[in-house]
Amino acid sequence: MEIKPYGDTLNDGAVQISFSLPLPLSTRGKKAARELVIKMGIMDPRIVFSRDLGEGFSFYIVYGNLIHSVESEILGEDIEEEVTLDYWEINRLIEEKIGRKLVIVGATIGSDAHTVGIDAILNAKGFAGDVGLERYPSFTVHNLGSQVPPETLLEKVMDYKADVILVSQVVTQKNSHIHNLTQLVELVEGSALRDKVIMICGGPYISRELALEIGYDAGFGPHTLPAQVASFIVKRIMEDYQEGIKGCVRGERMKGRTRRVKWKNW
Amino acid sequence: MEIKPYGDTLNDGAVQISFSLPLPLSTRGKKAARELVIKMGIMDPRIVFSRDLGEGFSFYIVYGNLIHSVESEILGEDIEEEVTLDYWEINRLIEEKIGRKLVIVGATIGSDAHTVGIDAILNAKGFAGDVGLERYPSFTVHNLGSQVPPETLLEKVMDYKADVILVSQVVTQKNSHIHNLTQLVELVEGSALRDKVIMICGGPYISRELALEIGYDAGFGPHTLPAQVASFIVKRIMEDYQEGIKGCVRGERMKGRTRRVKWKNW
Amino acid sequence: MNDTAPDDIEILSLPISLKEEAFSLGKGIAEEVHNKVKTYSTFAIERASLRLLGVKGANEEGVPWVNIFIDKCAREGKLSRGALFTLGEVIISNGKTLQEAVEGVATGAIDLGTIFPQDEKKVKELMTSLVSRSIEDLLGMRRKRQEMIDSLTPGEKPLLYVIVASGNIYEDVKQAKSAAMMGADIIAVIRTTAQSLLDYIPYGITTEGFGGTVATQENFALMRKALDEVSLKLGRYIRLVNYCSGLAMPEIATLGALEGLDIMVNDAIYGILFRDINSTRTLTDQEFSRRILSLAGITIVTGEDNLIKTVDAKEMAHTVTASQLINHHLALLSGLPPRLIGMGHAFEMDPSEEDSFLNELAQAWLVRELFPQSPIKYMPPTRFMTGDIFRGMVLNAAFNLIGVMTKQEILLLGMPTEAMHTPYVQDRFLSLENALYFRKAAKSLMGEFRLREDSLMRKRAIEVLNNGVEVLREIKGVGLFEALAQGSFAEIKRPLKGGRGLEGVFAKARDYFNPFLNILPGTIISRGTNYGD
Amino acid sequence: MNDTAPDDIEILSLPISLKEEAFSLGKGIAEEVHNKVKTYSTFAIERASLRLLGVKGANEEGVPWVNIFIDKCAREGKLSRGALFTLGEVIISNGKTLQEAVEGVATGAIDLGTIFPQDEKKVKELMTSLVSRSIEDLLGMRRKRQEMIDSLTPGEKPLLYVIVASGNIYEDVKQAKSAAMMGADIIAVIRTTAQSLLDYIPYGITTEGFGGTVATQENFALMRKALDEVSLKLGRYIRLVNYCSGLAMPEIATLGALEGLDIMVNDAIYGILFRDINSTRTLTDQEFSRRILSLAGITIVTGEDNLIKTVDAKEMAHTVTASQLINHHLALLSGLPPRLIGMGHAFEMDPSEEDSFLNELAQAWLVRELFPQSPIKYMPPTRFMTGDIFRGMVLNAAFNLIGVMTKQEILLLGMPTEAMHTPYVQDRFLSLENALYFRKAAKSLMGEFRLREDSLMRKRAIEVLNNGVEVLREIKGVGLFEALAQGSFAEIKRPLKGGRGLEGVFAKARDYFNPFLNILPGTIISRGTNYGD
Ligand code: B12
Ligand code: B12
Ligand SMILES: Cc1ncc(COP(=O)(O)O)c(C=O)c1O
Ligand SMILES: Cc1ncc(COP(=O)(O)O)c(C=O)c1O
């Protein structure tokens, strides 16, 4: 089945587009807008609004019907949300299976000063009614705050013999988040600690995919709840523990992870 | 030079897109949204908002950077706005060159009941401070109102020996405006009157291009002022008058017009 | 609507004598109209009476049986006494059921010309008992619906009203359910363009319409069922609306009653001005329609918004007030209790004018205070909406805030794409989230304020009411019909004998018979009371 | 800002005794801070003093001459007496101009260690005359700018404030002009991320920045020139803003004065809490900065909005009030007249909460009434903005309306794309049309209302003020420095000896010499008066 945008009738392909052009509002500007939208695959573009913005800029709002569609087959199966363990379950598992508190170090690195996101995960108060990791008896949390240079974070990880690193990145201009996050991974790898710690990043523009790609164990985006993070940590550590015993190696995507079978050796 | 959308830096290609899909919000829905936007030529789509709308629908807002651009050369020269003659000039020209009042018949045809637009052009009060055609001493205006069947309009055109027909169309669902407007042209042509009257259509979704294509002499869109219409009428009639004398034939785009050299023969 | 409107909202301190004059003028004008129209019946009223009795269906070309039946009655001179009388004769003489009798006449199987006159008393008894039974049925349905409503939460005020208008009832159903799930309380199915002009009710489930969906009994039923489902799912009652105006107005009222509609947009003046329907025809139809709606407990909403969609809303605001005062009294005379009389108005002033927000606020308060016991249906900006959908969200925000602040009970939500097309599925979401924000975030705002002594808004409201009274005085002088002929509203002139549908009006003969007239609510007829109030 | 704020806006009827207590606590806390910080100077103050005299430029690596000069002074133990004294000695002993002397020391051509002590009186006379001349120059520039402002229309209230932040000053200039043409009254150039942390002023015209554009003297000049052009073209004066906080605060103040900025975001508490700058350092810097800004007639705006971007805005609203009261008195003590003290706050409560609109309105009125003679800078919703740009327009509409209704004088406009990126060129247009609508359409709204006796908004405002006074009492008990160490604001703890830049603070020696301290406005120094007020 072909899937198309829906306005008020199946397969009408209705889409809304807006953008500015570095041209004054004129017949040329409108023509350029129309041509661009046609290149995007809009059959019968209607420029419903246009405005000169001064200084040689103009703004356009366009409605039209998209010729493109996607085959519903290529969309695959719906991925089930990971089941989030609850507070009690998490604490019980750690107590029973690990038998000691896990040490977590968290920070916003680089020149990024946004702390609300990482605090939402770490501070006892938590987020949207879900308590933060500090409140879990089975975690020891060190929240280093913001503007932490990756080097400093690494030092603290060693000082505290951390099991988990939580890094937040909010500012993404000029891809500074990727730069900072990659630098941290490299430092950790450089000091041969990568297989000893779980590395998790998060922030409003972080996705799981991105995180895995740059060498983290997980990435959490907007609206993350602390329990989701705690849940991931526990599950991952349990798995690693199993694997450590079996000594087996998993595929590509688990690169960072499979090296961390020695995690209990801190 | 290549022209691209502008967000905050030249050639960043920034565009905003929104649409719904006939899929519930899920990983499949998001994937479909992303695939569609990639097909539109968005390099790095960011789904900044998504929402389940119930009943198997979902809504997406996407930002990203367009790979397409347009060559500024193909945009041609800026078309100068036609100079609009003013009220005094128009009346003077008609009085001097034509020497009689021009008869105008106006209506909204078909089942369309929107009169505000045509009234804005015809009623003495006018639009946005510009007086309407009824106020011009050189026009005799018959405003037939709305819901006028094309046949009735034709009868009135003959009764009044009209020089100009003004038709409004506002409702465009299922292309009813095109249907109605075309029907009217055909009727007028069928009764061999096409070369005796200037036919002008207007409405919020009417463009000059569309009007010419379906056989009208002009088409006026949103924000039209009465003086623009009056100005067009006078200029066209003056030209026809000249041409009538010279008997010459102009190119393609003037199809409707060249046949109307006998307009004075009513 | 199911509870009384607030009356703790007085803020304008309108001069009492002015208010009293306004109401007495409105009442006087309405009474004159009422006295005139009750001497007439119309083809549509006769057809509606048949439909009330339960007659349904159409021939193969889709022409409804009731239309053919009534046309034949008219042709045979058997209408001025009332179609129900003729029908009674047919039933008795041919020994048929109601439906069979009508179809028989319509197909020509029964020839009206050859029907023997029957005993008048017998005919009347038969028809009166059929009418009584149908009234009982209607009241039974009303009770059942009320039970359903009572079993669910009623929704918060203002109720959020959105439209569906895809032209295809199946798409409409999906979109309506989606809207309900996103927070809509009321769904209106917009009619296909110019259905007003049809002197019959189209038949069947339909999937093609222009700017709206055909209003048919079958489409009503489909949507009602869908909304009942979603109401139960949400635990919140979702109301259904359609238009009750145009040439078939009384029949639409009947279908509304039969199919469980909650609200009907009902306004003869709209038909007169914007559809060029004959004034006597549609005001006569309206009287009967409103009596049916009253019986069924359906809330009407009036169409004054249309006036200020045509002429300047600031300048002509007082004509809205004048029309509301007339409309309100017409409705009272047709047996509608105030709580079922929804007064319509709109946010349509030029938003680029200085203090337009104040003038809108003043107008909203004025309507609210003039009709404290009636729901107000507040319509959003449309005329000054443009293709700039972002600005559209802002104008709708201003509208929503005023709606909440002045306790308008029904907010018809503006769509960002108003200037382009009937709503897309996401437009409803965007409009609902806009209104839901203000309904919650400004919940208690209306109880916060008094106006200063020198308030511009108070001044404006009094000025509007004053000018409205002025217009009412003029109308009172010449009568509503003549005023319409002179162009008192929206600068449109509609002569008494002009317009569509006049041929379907007839003076009721001395022996005109229609038991519904005795049994439906209405102030004139002695037996008429307001059921269930 | 150029005219006094309205005082006919009283609506809350705050208890007078409560207000008085609030002000007296704010004053007491501020005085204690003031008395402490005037015993210190900082590297940044010394550098700023050089810049005030007109020293410019940087070495080939971009290190400013003033930084090298001051560092050398410090290293040679020649700072506690004041850099200007040392500079005077260098000039006299080497017979150089100011600029030559500084560069000479910086490049090492002149060795500070080998400078002979000069006659103290001669040095002081020389430097005092240089200082006087520079002050005359600054006042001359201020007069010239005022003439330009007076020759243009000032713009309507509230003034509409938008940001540019492309990172590239040339793009910024285009975008700023575009914004002005679309109706913006104030342009703020957002600084590149973490410029606060630089203990110097970068040099030159720059085209790379992260989330903002580098604040340099050269970029200031470029933007000022562009805005002057567009001001003349529009006949409306366009104001320029930058940030005056961080480690280089006094130097930025100087550049603002030299380059004709109109408004500076200036708040030591922001630096302490969100940039972890040492409290003594930045409060000392702030005192000097504000005296410069006062001389130059630059309006400051404070940064209390940041508090409620970090903690819950409804719960912690009183900390905004408390901080404002302290900040306001600190500013008064540094010689700023009330009309140059812009108080910052923001619309940041959770919009999904019931009556959040009322709580925002109450807060806006509270700020307005507490500081009737000061401009209020009202910041838009940011925390609860999401990728839903349509809803963003609606929240901004609510914000704009409150801004207009409560006469906030400066509206920092919210952008629909707040949750994604710094503004695109069209975002500014959309935000401006939103605000322009309300500024005009609700122009007279604020004069319309009184509150009812039982008003929830009045209750809320008094509660906030009460809690604010509570916090002030606590702070008064321990002093501001200790309160910051305990986490009184935004739940962030900043110990007295912690944070960046402490190494740049030094106690002024008994013979500390800096004639600017005698001549700049400020309440403590006898000669300090408020110029031009
Ligand atoms: C509050 C705020 C600030 C506050 C920060 C206060 C503080 N103590 O954090 C102040 C005012 C100080 C500030 C300053 C600046 N800000 Co700011 N700020 C915001 C704002 C309004 C909200 C961010 C926020 O708190 N969200 C709420 C939290 C709970 O959400 P969150 O961060 O997404 O966190 C959740 C998830 O992402 C996840 N998560 C986040 N981190 C982590 C980490 C881990 C390990 C895990 C598992 C999960 C996780 O879990 C959280 C809970 O669900 C946003 C705009 C917006 N509406 O998003 C701009 C915004 C982020 N800021 C921005 C900018 C540019 C700045 C400045 C750089 C501007 C300047 N040049 O001066 C400055 C400087 C700060 C700096 N150098 O970093 C831009 C970033 C643009 C971009 N994409 O790069 C934004 C988008 C605004 C804009 N449109 O320009 N800002
Ligand atoms: C006012 C209005 C009404 C009023 C009309 C009152 C009246 N007396 O005209 C009422 C309430 C009656 C009405 C009813 C309906 N309407 Co209506 N209405 C509008 C509205 C809000 C404004 C139109 C208007 O007056 N614009 C102001 C005038 C001045 O602008 P204009 O028409 O563009 O005219 C200018 C130019 O276009 C030009 N022009 C116009 N005509 C001509 C002719 C000539 C010869 C020339 C030279 C120039 C010219 O000059 C004018 C001045 O500059 C629009 C939405 C909107 N904001 O645009 C919907 C809108 C046009 N309506 C719509 C619909 C669907 C209907 C209904 C069919 C709905 C229904 N099913 O019941 C009904 C039925 C009416 C019908 N059958 O036609 C749709 C049309 C969708 C579409 N694209 O097909 C719209 C867009 C609303 C929507 N989003 O659904 N409507
Ligand atoms: C009172 C009233 N009736 C009916 C309609 C429906 O329009 P139509 O006449 O096309 O059925 C409207 C639409 O605006 C209306 O306001
Ligand atoms: C008071 C104040 N100063 C300065 C800034 C600028 O930020 P930075 O510290 O990145 O220079 C801000 C930004 O929010 C602020 O509010």
The pLDDT tens digits for B86-102 are: 999 999 999 998 899 99
Please compute Rg for chain C using Cα positions.
23
pLDDT value at position A244?
A: 53
Among C163, C216, C272, C274, which residue has the most ligand 3 atoms within 8 Å of its CB, making it the best to mutate? C274
Tell me what ipTM this predicted complex has. 0.94
Indicate if ligand 3 lies below 6 Å from the C-beta of C377: no
CA angle D495–D496–D497, rounded 5-degree value: 95
pLDDT in tens, D369-379: 999 999 999 99
Residue C100 pLDDT class (50, 70, 90 cuts): very high
Number of neighbours of residue C477 by Cβ within 10 angstroms: 10
pLDDT value at position C189?
A: 98
pLDDT in tens, D340-358: 999 999 999 999 999 999 9
- Find, among D407, D441, D328, the residue nearest to D4 by Cα: D407
pLDDT value at position D193?
A: 85
**What does the mean pLDDT of chain A come to?**
89
Question: What mean pLDDT is predicted for residues C58-76?
Answer: 96
Q: B13: alpha, beta or left, given left = phi > 0 and alpha = psi -120 to 50? A: left
pLDDT value at position D270?
A: 93
Please report residues of C whose CB lies closer than 8 A to that of D357: 438, 441-442, 445
Q: Does D207 touch chain B (CB under 8 A)?
A: no
pLDDT value at position D8?
A: 60
Indicate if ligand 3 lies below 6 Å from the C-beta of C489: no
Please report residues of C whose CB lies closer than 8 A to that of A61: 387-390
Please report residues of D whose CB lies closer than 8 A to that of C395: 437
pLDDT value at position D210?
A: 86
- The residue from B101, B125, B156, B235 that is catalytic is B125
Q: Is the predicted pLDDT of residue D424 greater than 60, yes or no?
A: yes
pLDDT value at position B251?
A: 32
Q: Whose CA is nearest to atom 10 of ligand 3?
A: C194
Residue D9 pLDDT class (50, 70, 90 cuts): low
DSSP-derived pairing of the beta strands D505-507 and D40-42: antiparallel
Q: What percent of chain A has pLDDT over 90?
A: 77
Q: Is the predicted pLDDT of residue A261 greater than 50, yes or no?
A: no
Among A159-173, B246-260, C25-39, D238-252, where is mean pLDDT lowest? B246-260
Among A112, A133, A170, which residue has the most ligand 1 atoms within 8 Å of its CB, making it the best to mutate? A170
Compute, in angstroms, the gap from residue A47 CA to the centroid of ligand 3.
29
Q: Does D171 touch chain B (CB under 8 A)?
A: yes
Q: Is the predicted pLDDT of residue B262 greater than 50, yes or no?
A: no
pLDDT in tens, B119-166: 999 999 899 889 999 999 999 999 999 999 999 999 999 999 999 999
Q: Whose CA is nearest to atom 12 of ligand 4?
A: D243
pLDDT value at position A156?
A: 96
CA distance A215 to chain D (A): 24
Q: Does D28 touch chain A (CB under 8 A)?
A: no
Of C211, C310, C424, Cβ closest to residue B171:
C211
* Yes or no, beta carbons of D171 and B9 under 8 Å apart: yes
Please report residues of D whose CB lies closer than 8 A to that of C430: 390-391
Q: Is the predicted pLDDT of residue D88 greater than 80, yes or no?
A: yes
pLDDT value at position D532?
A: 36
Of D445, D447, D450, Cβ closest to residue C357:
D445
Residue C10 pLDDT class (50, 70, 90 cuts): confident
Question: What mean pLDDT is predicted for residues B56-63?
Answer: 98
Question: What mean pLDDT is predicted for residues B223-247?
Answer: 82
* Alpha-carbon distances, residue B206 vs A153, B214, C421 (angstroms): 64, 11, 14
Burial of A135 (0-12, 13-18, 19+ CB in 10 A): middle
Please compute Rg for chain D using Cα positions.
23
Among B179-188, C196-205, C304-313, C521-530, where is mean pLDDT lowest? C521-530
Question: What mean pLDDT is predicted for residues A132-153?
Answer: 95
The residues of A whose Cβ lies within 8 A of any Cβ of D are 18-20, 51, 53-57, 59, 111-113, 115-116, 145, 147, 171, 173-174, 176, 204
pLDDT in tens, C257-274: 999 999 999 999 999 999
Q: Which secondary structure element, helix H or strand E, spans residue C136, and what is its range?
A: helix C120-151
pLDDT value at position C8?
A: 60
**What does the mean pLDDT of chain D come to?**
94
Say whether B255 is catalytic.
Answer: no
pLDDT value at position B247?
A: 39
Task: Report D:224-283 residues touching A (Cβ under 8 A).
Answer: 274-276
- Find, among C378, C385, C386, C372, the residue nearest to C402 by Cα: C378
CA distance C182 to chain B (A): 7
DSSP letters along C44-106, please? HHHHHHHHHHT---B-TTS-BHHHHHHHHHHHTT-STT-HHHHHHHHHHHHT--HHHHHHHHH
- Rounded to a whole number of angstroms, the distance between the first and last alpha carbons of chain A is 54
Number of neighbours of residue A138 by Cβ within 10 angstroms: 19
* Yes or no, beta carbons of B51 and D168 under 8 Å apart: no
Compute, in angstroms, the gap from residue A170 CA to the centroid of ligand 1.
5
Among A23-27, B41-45, C2-6, D357-361, where is mean pLDDT lowest? C2-6
Compute, in angstroms, the gap from residue D247 CA to the centroid of ligand 4.
12
pLDDT value at position B239?
A: 84
- Find, among C524, C494, C43, C505, the residue nearest to C270 by Cα: C494
Please report residues of A whose CB lies closer than 8 A to that of D177: 54-55
- The number of C-alpha atoms within 13 Å of A31 and in the hemisphere containing its C-beta is 14
pLDDT value at position A190?
A: 94
- Collapse the DSSP code of D451 into the 3-class scheme (helix H, G, I; strand E, B; otherwise coil) and give the result: strand
pLDDT value at position A260?
A: 44
- Chains in contact with D via at least 3 Cβ–Cβ pairs below 8 Å: A, B, C
Q: Cite the active site residues of C.
A: 270, 305, 377
Q: Is the predicted pLDDT of residue B18 greater than 50, yes or no?
A: yes
pLDDT value at position A78?
A: 78
Burial of C238 (0-12, 13-18, 19+ CB in 10 A): buried
Residue B257 pLDDT class (50, 70, 90 cuts): very low
Furthest C-alpha separation in chain C? 76
pLDDT in tens, D225-255: 999 999 999 999 999 999 999 999 999 999 9
- Closest approach atom of ligand 4 to CA A111: 10
Identify whether B22 is preceded by a cis peptide bond (ω within 30 of 0): no
Residue of chain D whose Cα is closest to the Cα of C454: D448
Residue D410 has phi, psi (to 5 degrees) of -125, 120
pLDDT value at position C523?
A: 60
CB pairs under 8 A between B and D: 39
pLDDT value at position C520?
A: 92
Residue D314 pLDDT class (50, 70, 90 cuts): very high
- Name the residue with higher pLDDT: B78 or C511: C511
- Could you give the angle at which helices B150-160 and B176-190 cross, rounded to 10 degrees? 40
Q: Is the predicted pLDDT of residue C1 greater than 70, yes or no?
A: no
Residue B85 pLDDT class (50, 70, 90 cuts): very high
pLDDT value at position B82?
A: 75
* Yes or no, beta carbons of B68 and A22 under 8 Å apart: no
- Name the residue with higher pLDDT: C114 or C28: C28
Q: Whose CA is nearest to atom 32 of ligand 2?
A: B117
Question: What mean pLDDT is predicted for residues D89-111?
Answer: 95
- Do A61 and C387 contact (CB within 8 A), yes or no? yes
- Find, among D413, D443, D408, the residue nearest to D429 by Cα: D413
**What does the mean pLDDT of chain C come to?**
94
Q: Is the predicted pLDDT of residue C379 greater than 50, yes or no?
A: yes
